[in-house]
């Protein structure tokens, strides 16, 4: 089995794959202060809770955009899961040509998301990831990663309103009943939800024009369903996109078995 780990700035997503089938997945808060042993014990507890034998995991792969805790997770996986670990980064085969000016600048999560989107839905395609930042990534018809756009995420935007505007409260992010809010909370919910839906509409429309072909638009991330419900430009919400991408990249980095002399 493969243990796939996606380390984001706000959350860590973990998935267990049996071949190409996702058996279970979990979502944790990213804590930069946790030690190797604390993460290791959390892994053990999650497996025990779902009744999965930790010893059945033979490989793991990690996509991380938080460099300070990447070594902590690698050590935890080696110590507690006792498996080999693939850290997705420079030198790892993705099977996708990166047309970025400096490929090292592209976050691993954006790359694996693009790999999975092209593998699952074909190209050209646009991936919208609602994470700590909202990212837009474009993949050509021939499977080249072309680049994209990065905007502040929904959570960051709400926190900025709360921190910088003395009379605005922290609010729950839910779909508003109407655009014209009749109170402060409703007005903030309207501005956030419809504002981000409008951002997605505009950026995706501009990207489609630059790609010059009909493009499939895939959304992922914690709030993807909320925004997708308010815009017709998103074709598919795929919450497992990045975990699938980690699995696909791991598969592409496995050495094919050597033929024995009897096979020749």
Q: State the catalytic residues.
A: 109
**CA–CA separation, 118 and 124 (whole Å):** 8
Q: Cα(93)–Cα(146) distance, rounded to whole angstroms?
A: 17
Q: With beta carbons less than 8 A apart as the criterion, state whether 99 and 147 touch.
A: yes
Contact status, residue 87 vs residue 65, Cβ threshold 8 Å: no
Tell me how far apart the alpha carbons of residues 242 and 124 are, in angstroms, rounded to a whole number. 18
Pairing between β-strand 11-18 and β-strand 21-29 as defined by DSSP bridges: antiparallel
The closest of 27, 17, 13 to 57, measured between CA atoms, is 17
Q: How many alpha carbons lie under 13 Å from residue 142 in its C-beta half-sphere?
A: 5
**Which residues does 55 contact at the CB level (< 8 Å), separation at least 6?**
82
Phi, psi dihedral angles at 76 (to 5 degrees)? -65, -40
């Amino acid at each position: 089995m493969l243990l796939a780990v996606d380390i984001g700035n706000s959350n860590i997503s973990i998935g267990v794959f049996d071949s190409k089938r996702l058996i279970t997945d979990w979502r944790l808060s990213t804590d930069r202060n946790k030690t190797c042993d604390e993460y290791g014990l959390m892994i053990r507890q999650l497996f025990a809770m779902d009744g999965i034998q930790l010893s059945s995991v033979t490989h793991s792969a990690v996509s991380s955009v938080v460099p300070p805790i990447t070594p902590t997770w690698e050590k935890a996986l080696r110590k507690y899961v006792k498996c080999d670990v693939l850290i997705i980064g420079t030198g790892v085969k993705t099977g996708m040509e990166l047309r970025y000016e400096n490929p090292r600048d592209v976050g691993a999560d954006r790359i694996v998301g693009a790999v999975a989107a092209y593998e699952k839905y074909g190209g050209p395609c646009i991936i919208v990831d609602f994470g700590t930042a909202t990212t837009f990534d474009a993949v050509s018809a021939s499977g080249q990663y072309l680049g994209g756009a990065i905007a502040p995420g929904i959570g960051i935007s709400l926190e900025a309103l709360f921190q910088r505007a003395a009379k605005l409260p922290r609010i729950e992010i839910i779909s508003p009943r109407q655009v014209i809010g009749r109170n402060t909370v409703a007005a903030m919910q309207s501005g956030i939800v419809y504002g981000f839906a409008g951002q997605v509409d505009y950026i995706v429309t501009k990207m489609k024009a630059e790609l010059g072909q009909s493009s499939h638009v895939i959304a992922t991330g914690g709030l993807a369903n909320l925004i997708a419900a308010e815009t017709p430009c998103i074709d598919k919400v795929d919450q497992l996109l990045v975990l699938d991408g980690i699995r696909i990249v791991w598969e592409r980095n496995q050495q094919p078995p050597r033929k024995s002399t009897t096979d020749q």
